Chain A
Amino acid sequence: MNPTVTKLKSAVIGTGKISEEHLRFLSSCPLVSLEGVCDLSPSLAQYATRRFGAKHWFTDHQKMLAEVKPDVVHILTPATSHVKLATDCLNAGTHVIVEKPIAMNRAEFAQLWELAQSKHRVLIEDHNYRYNEPIQQIQSLVQSGRLGEIREVEVRMNLAIRAEGGRYMDRSLPNPAHQYPCGVIHEFITHLCYLTLAFMPDKIDTIKCAWRKHGTDDVFKYDDLDALVIAGPVHGRIRYASDTAPDCFIVSVHGDKGSVSTDLFLPHLRLNVARAGGKQLSPLVNHWCNGWELIRSSMGNFRNKVMQKSPYEGLQTFMHMAYTAIAQGTPLPVTFNDMDQTILLIDSLLDEANRI
């Protein structure tokens, strides 16, 4: 980096679990000076400040905006507070990076976007999984035409979060996510939607879905989601379940020449395409190649676990691209259209709730 380039002054609001990934990036990125950390809990704010080497800590975001005057603010609080905090930051003249979901519905997002445009500031929602290595590899395969014309996309997330004692089954102090429009699924649905849309044509023709609740508890609003999204010749399937194990986050893309799938929680790539050996031997060659890939990935995943490279690896790439874009004017990693189509799809899925 050119030493004469001024670093962007960054600040963070919210120091929950996801903040660890943001702060790790901010404390090591040469484009950034980590100026402030804000949380309602002074102890949490101080802990994050000391651990990640921030310069100041606050419990009042308005005070932080006034005193630090950051260039970029990361909003990492519970989702219902995103619009209010992002509005305050934009009005203070900062660029804003917001954790998903950026807003609770499309109308709120539209207002926020309009404000960002009027202030000539960047407003960007974290779509980190798009920048995980396996997703980037799948996109390369799609773009290269090796899979042919895309026909099916499936994004499936299974999280065994209904277990007693877990953070989402706390009856004494229910997780705020249970109050979101999709219940706890709203915590994850943005990921499912933007990954589905990443491999589908722009215009969605048909959406059908089932939101179901199986448990008798009064904590979860929905336990699972099964959605069908059709755009031209491409069928998209979005599936989420809170009561199945083990956890997985599978993305599969099928074309008329081949298919590929990955599990982002245990990254590997399973690729079935025409191979050398022709139609007769391709299934066998695919089998061998995928077996080798599984062995290679299992060793790589062990190394990643030791080296603390988590499924959030895409977040580092996403943020590096976002900061480069803000500093140097290169394209942002997530566009207005990406965010708008994602939140439109979430709204549409909710409109379909309980019609099946």
Chain B
Amino acid sequence: MKLFITGATGFVGRFVVRSALDRGHSVRAMARNGNDLSKYAWANHANVELSRVDLRSRRGLVDALVGVDAVIHLAAAKSGDIYAQFAGTVVATENLLWAMSEAKLKRLVHCSTFSVYDYTRAKAGSVLTEETPIEIDGFDRDEYAQTKLVQERLVRQFGDAGNEVTILRPGVIWGTDNWFTARIGMSAGERRWVKFGGSQILPLTYVENCAEALVLAAEKSEAIGQTLNVIDDEMPSVRQYCRRVPPRLSPVPKTHYVPYWFMRAFAGSVAGFNRIFLNNHAKVPGIFATAKLVARCKPLRYSNARIKQVLGWTPRYDFEKSLARSVA
């Protein structure tokens, strides 16, 4: 297959390109002007073409899709205010879907996220699956969750219009340079991690495992019309993760512990004070906002049964091998 991969130079994208090449596909890798590609081993691979387009603009997009069999859409903005993230995530997706329609290209694998789920409605201790309700607007969630929600809605509409869409929702994608996740709690630079609780399970997927799942989804016709959660078999608790990962890092971060129940109670008190005395006008840090806190740290269980059934996917690397590959 010839795959058009958006966000090819991102944390996940560079592994998706490699995985696609390993599986015998040719790749048209999308990269913005100014991105230095010399650090990627695949940049000069015979089966890789570079496409210097920017999804925030429609210029050159239709031409970039000529001859392509499927798109793996990874591009999204993870930082900046809501407007910057809207441009990099939502407007970018509007433009991509427009270009796919113009180019009469139907096959799309979209990389969504666990952030779209409605964690306030999910019962503590329950199993989060693809059927768990997602947020409606997510106005009380962070910018990333809000924009990824709108993005997934657009992709779903594209599928409803007769196109061949697969939506993958990875859990926490981890690997080199992506060690800390907000699901642990909060970090103060590289040197201090604060755990909010310790027993809750982390829905991890190692970046190379996740990349392979995305490519598999493009290959398999059984995946069309499906929404699949991507998580590895081995999911450590926050406590286990903090015991195994930080000692392998340099500098070694110190970890501190705050009970999750205390954070919930504190966030609840802040919300009550804001509602009663400040008419909900105060903006509080995410860790003190209930909807954001529970999205990060609510204790839940997770299942990867459906993706295994539909794609026949098995995570190639277990936790220890993933860690060894990441720190190597």
Chain A interface residues (CB < 8 Å from chain B): 16-17, 41-44, 47, 50-51, 167, 171-173, 305-308
Contact = CB atoms under 8 A, between A and B. Distances in A.
B282 interface: yes
Given A41-B94, A44-B90, A51-B139, A172 B283 contact: no
B182 interface: no
B83 A17 contact: yes
B59 to A, nearest CB: 9
Given A43-B154, A51-B137, A173 B90 contact: no
B227 to A, nearest CB: 20
The 5 closest A-B pairs by CB, nearest first: A172-B32, A171-B34, A172-B33, A43-B90, A17-B83
Contacts of A47: 86, 90, 146, 150
Contacts of B54: 172-173
11 contacts: A42-B94, A43-B90, A44-B90, A51-B139, A167-B80, A172-B54, A173-B54, A306-B282, A307-B278, A307-B283, A308-B283
B63 interface: no
B39 interface: no
A308 B282 contact: yes
Chain B CB within 10 Å, residue with most, of A17, A43, A50, A307 = A43
B84 interface: yes
Instruction: Pick the most buried of B54, B83, B94, B283: most chain A CB atoms within 10 A of its CB.
Output: B83
Contacts of B84: 167
Nearest to B53: A172
Nearest to A44: B86
Contact of A307 (B32, B33, B81, B282): B282
B32 A43 contact: no
Contacts of B283: 305-308
A308 B274 CA distance: 13
A270 B54 CA distance: 47
Contacts of A173: 32, 54, 56-57
Contacts of B207: none
Contacts of B139: 51
A257 to B, nearest CB: 40
A172 B56 CA distance: 10
Contacts of A305: 283
Contacts of A17: 81, 83
Nearest to A18: B83
Nearest to B137: A50
Interface string B244-279: 000000000000000000000000000000000010
Contacts of B56: 173
A355 B91 CA distance: 42
Interface of B: 32-35, 54, 56-57, 80-81, 83-84, 86, 90-91, 94, 137, 139, 146, 150, 154, 278, 281-284
Given A16-B83, A306-B282, A307-B281, A41 B91 contact: yes
Contacts of B150: 43, 47
Nearest to A50: B137
B149 to A, nearest CB: 10
B150 to A, nearest CB: 5
Nearest to A308: B283
A172 B31 CA distance: 9
B282 A41 contact: no
B91 A171 contact: no
A172 B34 contact: yes
A324 to B, nearest CB: 23
Contacts of B57: 173
A41 B150 CA distance: 12
Contacts of B34: 171-172
Given A171-B33, A171-B34, A173-B54, A44 B282 contact: no
B281 A41 contact: no
A219 to B, nearest CB: 10
Nearest to B83: A17
Contacts of B281: 307-308
A41 B137 CA distance: 17
A53 to B, nearest CB: 12
A305 B84 CA distance: 21
Given A43-B91, A173-B54, 17 more contacts: A16-B83, A17-B81, A41-B86, A41-B94, A42-B94, A43-B94, A43-B150, A43-B154, A44-B90, A44-B91, A47-B146, A51-B137, A172-B32, A172-B35, A307-B281, A307-B283, A308-B283
A172 to B, nearest CB: 4
Nearest to B279: A307
A13 to B, nearest CB: 16
B84 to A, nearest CB: 7
Nearest to B146: A47
